A and B are shown apart, each in its own frame.
Chain A
Amino acid sequence: MVDRRDGARPPAGSLVNDPRARAIAVQLLLIAAVVAVGWSFVQNARVNLEARGIATGFGFFEQTAGFGITQSLIEYSETSSYGRAFLVGLLNTMLVSGIGVVLATVLGFAVGIARLSSNFLLARIAGAYVELVRNLPLLFQIFFWYIAVLGTLPGPRQSLSFFGIAYLNNRGVILPEPNFAEGAGLVGIVLLAGVALSIAVHIWARRRQAATGKLFPRGRLALILILGFPLVAFFATGAPISFGYPELRGFNFVGGFRVIPEFAALLVALVTYTAGFIAEIVRAGILAVARGQTEAAYSLGLRPGPTLRLVVVPQALRVIVPPLTSQYLNLTKNSSLAAGIGYPDFFYVFAGTTLNQTGQAIEIIAITMAVYLVISLVTSGLMNWYNRRKALVER
């Protein structure tokens, strides 16, 4: 800024001499230049691709994909379009990273806290775990789980059986599959309502306890709401939910719900690997909370458990959340290593198979980058929002 202590305004009408106007003009010019260069790049690419006889545009999204995909959360067959394959891949990525983030957080917190435990053995084991998973390349760990662990399971005909209803073999874990008949919807609604009501009661009871000190038997109520009523509804509608049990027929089990080994290996590797980093973040976060806080809590008569839960962790979270966000982003991006073991994640299905079958490298790589960018921005957005809520509120 210009020093205007003398109160003199720049001569009216002369925008050229107004530093603010000049700054804006320069910015605008710069943006225009960037857009122009970008645009000419796109134009050039179009013209040159055409000259080289390479197909361009996004029409391929509607064409038939023609290849199969091992795991799909939505209806998909070889006759589906590339657009559909895109979605299948995207959902598979979100599935493995969504579950991965939750499990890695739970495991990471457990290990991080265990590392600070006064129990020598526990702390040492946690420490060794962190060193082990952090120092081995992730791809190696994925291969380890896939080839050395899951790959050595017996074939379908020698499956390990769990009470004849679930099986484990080198094609994955096969579980009974719920079948829903008419009336199942009602049971579901009663269950959801029960969960929602329990949460509401929980919040209300906490507030009341904070205000008046009165306790409320919320656990018992929740049991009735979540288990009791749905059970009544279940029998009242004539037991509409049954289980389909897997059965060995021909080459493999038919029926039942299957978790493929590619998914399992990728998930386990991502979770154990990322948990190692999260554990360190949690440990650092807890150590960052002044020792006096713990001592104060103890002197108020709080036991170690509640002290950790009510005093230390909430304060540690402020330190933990920002680096935790990067770990979540890393996990999501690392899930693209799926290609190594054939798990059909987004990168593999789209930037791999679809790219190769259509030959439209430029469009596909651009979309792929955009998709990962959006996933990352949404994740950071959510975490920043959470962080702001947890941030220190000065009273």
Chain B
Amino acid sequence: MKRVLSTLVLVAGVGAFSAAHAAVLDQVKAKGFVQCGVSQGLPGFSSPDDKGAWTGLDVDICRALAAAIFDDPEKVKFTPLSAKDRFTALQSGEIDVLSRNTTWTLDRDTKMGLNFTAVTYYDGQGFMVKKALKVNSALELSGATVCTQTGTTTELNVADFFRANKMKYEVVAFATADETIKAYEAGRCDVFTSDVSQLYAQRLKLAKADDHMILRDVISKEPLGPMVRHGDDQWFDVVKWTVFALVNAEELGVTTKNLAEMMKSTNPEVKRLLGTEGALGQALGLTNDWVARMIKRVGNYGEIYDRNVGPGSRLNIERGLNKLWSKGGIMYAPPIR
């Protein structure tokens, strides 16, 4: 029903006569917070803790954004969205940014009136099965019943994978992550499939997590990152450079702990990053210390990763592809200059 509502908002929006829109950054500044679309509860990426505060990698991107704009990571409001409701919510203007483990694809980047900004997590699709089934490879899954979530690249990839390998399967697609994992746990399906990071996250929700294993096979590329509405280049730049700045900060070794020292650094790259030299923040419509604010409140990309999905978290996912390019991964950001 939420989708119908969003659609009505969208209808009202596009059906009305004036197409003029205030810039999103100005709107955000005027209302005093960022409205951020997240998942309905995916540990490590976006889920409410026991006090109701949202945490996770996707959440921290929004907090960094709020820190850059307001110098306050709490000036964010979160809208939990299922996979199938997320795009309509962004199109209709219900949210300012969608930071919800969403895969960058050409289709989504072009036809929906939305733009991807940057990659925050390089992922790929995998499978989880019960150990008791004694399956070692995805290629042994012919005839299996697969649980997945609707409205995702996951349900499309799984179809491609089984077809390409001439294997039979049956898919049961649910509307929310909770329904999907519960159905898998109840034995409705032999296999649970989603982005690998999400398999780790969902496995935590299982009563007997140790009875389940994640197969080694990765069947797709799933670069995840925040999206904004098409047509507002300034806001697009702000979100994009927020991500880039977090990565650059890690590369330059700027952390929450050493920030005070780094503010005094003579390294020109660090000076530009932290705004002690030049006026790069202003070019974005922010203050020049925008990155310093983010690092102070949220930390750099590496800190965000470790805290939410890495060794500092229950998920403990190897950093793998998401290591910096200089450390053997592919996480790379254009320079701040």
Interface residues of A (CB under 8 A from B): 40-42, 44-45, 47-49, 51-55, 66-70, 78-79, 147, 151-152, 155, 170-171, 249-252, 254, 261-262, 339-342, 344, 348, 351-353, 355-359, 361-362, 365
Cα A70 to Cα B87 with chains together (Å):
24
B233 to A: closest C-beta gap in Å: 13
A339 to B82, CA, bound (A): 13
| Contacting pair B14 A45 (CB below 8 A) | yes
Query: B31 contacts the other chain (Cβ, under 8 Å)?
Result: no
With A45-B11, A254-B143, A342-B179 as contacts: A53 and B230 at CB distance below 8 Å = yes
- Per-residue CB contact flags for chain B residues 194-221 toward chain A (1 = under 8 Å, else 0) read 0000000000000000000000000000
B143 in complex: contacting residue of A152, A251, A340, CB < 8 Å: A251
A55 close to B16 (CB less than 8 A): no
Give the contact stretch, choosing among B45-53, B109-117, B241-249, B260-268. B109-117
A249 contact set on B, CB distance < 8 A: 143
Find out whether the CB atom of A54 lies under 8 angstroms from the CB atom of B151: no
CB within 8 Å of A: which residues of B?
3-4, 6-7, 10-11, 13-17, 19, 83-85, 87-88, 91, 108, 110-114, 133, 141-145, 150-151, 155-156, 158-160, 163, 169-175, 179, 182-183, 186-188, 190, 229-231
What is the distance, in angstroms, from A278's C-beta to the closest C-beta of chain B? 26
The 9 A-B pairs of least Cβ separation, nearest first, read A356-B151, A54-B113, A359-B112, A78-B159, A48-B14, A68-B171, A356-B84, A55-B111, A52-B113
Task: Give the complex CA separation of A152 and B186 in angstroms.
Answer: 7
Q: Evaluate contact between A365 and B7: CB separation under 8 angstroms.
A: yes
Chain A residue numbers with a CB within 8 Å of B150 are 67, 342, 348, 352-353, 356
Closest to B157 in A: A66
Tell me how far the C-beta of B159 lies from the nearest C-beta in chain A, rounded to whole angstroms: 4
In the complex, which residue of chain B has the Cβ closest to the Cβ of A358? Answer: B111
Inter-chain CA distance A365–B230, complex, in Å, is 22
Q: Which residues of A contact B133 (CB under 8 A)?
A: 251
Interface centre among B14, B85, B182 (most CB of A within 10 A): B14
> Judging by beta carbons under 8 Å apart, are A66 and B159 in contact?
yes
On whether A45 and B186 interact (CB within 8 A), knowing A66-B159, A342-B173, A352-B150, the answer reads: no
Which one of B4, B13, B16, B87 contacts A356 once the chains associate, using CB atoms below 8 Å? B87
Contact B175 A53, beta carbon cutoff 8 Å: no
Contacts of A252 in B (CB 8 A): 143-145, 170, 190
Q: Closest A-chain residue to B149, C-beta based?
A: A342
Q: CA–CA, A181 to B19, complex, Å? A: 63
Asked whether A70 lies within 8 Å of B171 as measured between CB atoms, the reply is yes
- Given contacts A52-B14, A252-B190, list 15 more A-B pairs with CB under 8 A: A44-B15, A54-B111, A66-B160, A68-B158, A78-B159, A147-B186, A170-B188, A340-B175, A342-B173, A344-B173, A352-B150, A355-B3, A359-B87, A359-B113, A362-B10
| A339 to B183 alpha-carbon distance, docked (Å) | 14
Q: Given that A78-B163, A342-B174, A355-B88 are known contacts, is A67 also in contact with B156, CB under 8 Å in the complex?
A: yes
With known contacts A54-B112, A359-B112, A155–B187 Cβ distance under 8 A: yes
Closest to B11 in A: A362
* Nearest CB of chain A from residue B174's CB, rounded to whole Å: 4
Give chain B residues whose Cβ lies under 8 Å from the Cβ of A170. Answer: 186-188
In the assembled complex, how far is the CB of residue A359 from the closest CB belonging to chain B, in whole angstroms?
A: 4
Q: How far is the CA of A342 from the CA of B187 in the complex (A)?
A: 15
**Which residues of B sit under 8 angstroms from A40, Cβ to Cβ?**
17
Residues of A within 8 A of B91 (CB): 52, 54, 359, 361
Task: Please name all residues of chain B whose beta carbon is closer than 8 Å to the beta carbon of A365 when the two chains form the complex.
Answer: 3-4, 7, 11
**Chain B residue with Cβ nearest A343:** B172
Set of chain A residues within 8 Å of B11, measured between Cβ atoms: 45, 362, 365
Most buried by B among A48, A79, A361: A361
Give Cα A53–Cα B114 distance, bound, in whole angstroms.
8
In whole angstroms, how far apart are the Cα atoms of A344 and B83 in the complex? 16
A-B contact pairs, 30 of them (CB 8 A): A41-B15, A44-B14, A45-B14, A47-B19, A48-B13, A48-B15, A48-B19, A51-B19, A54-B112, A66-B159, A66-B160, A67-B156, A68-B155, A68-B173, A70-B170, A78-B159, A151-B186, A251-B133, A251-B143, A251-B145, A252-B144, A254-B143, A342-B183, A352-B150, A352-B175, A353-B151, A356-B87, A359-B87, A361-B6, A361-B88
Roughly how many angstroms separate A67 CA and B187 CA in the complex, as a whole number? 22
Judging by beta carbons under 8 Å apart, are A342 and B175 in contact? yes
Report chain B residues within 8 Å CB of A261: 188
- Quick one: which of B141, B143, B172 contacts A70, CB cutoff 8 A? B172
Let me know if B173 and A147 touch, CB within 8 A: no
CB distance from A313 to the nearest CB of B (A): 39
Chain B residues with CB under 8 Å of A254's CB are 143
Select which of A41, A44, A52, A341 is within 8 A of B230 by beta carbon: A52
Residues in A with CB closer than 8 Å to B143 are 249-252, 254
Nearest chain-A residue to B191 (Cβ)? A251
Q: Which residues of A contact B15 (CB under 8 A)?
A: 41-42, 44-45, 48
**What's the minimum C-beta distance from A29 to chain B, rounded to whole angstroms?**
22
Nearest residue in B to A151 (C-beta to C-beta)? Answer: B186
A69 to B17, CA, bound (A): 40
B148 to chain A, nearest CB (A): 9
In whole angstroms, what is the CA distance A155 to B4 when docked?
37
- Which of B6, B108, B111 has the largest number of chain A CB atoms within 10 A? B111
Quote the shortest CB–CB distance from B85 to chain A (angstroms): 8
Residues of A within 8 A of B171 (CB): 67-70
**Separation in Å of the A292 CB from the closest CB of chain B?**
49
Q: Which residue of A lies closest to B173 (CB)?
A: A342
Chain A residues within 8 Å of B16, by CB: 44
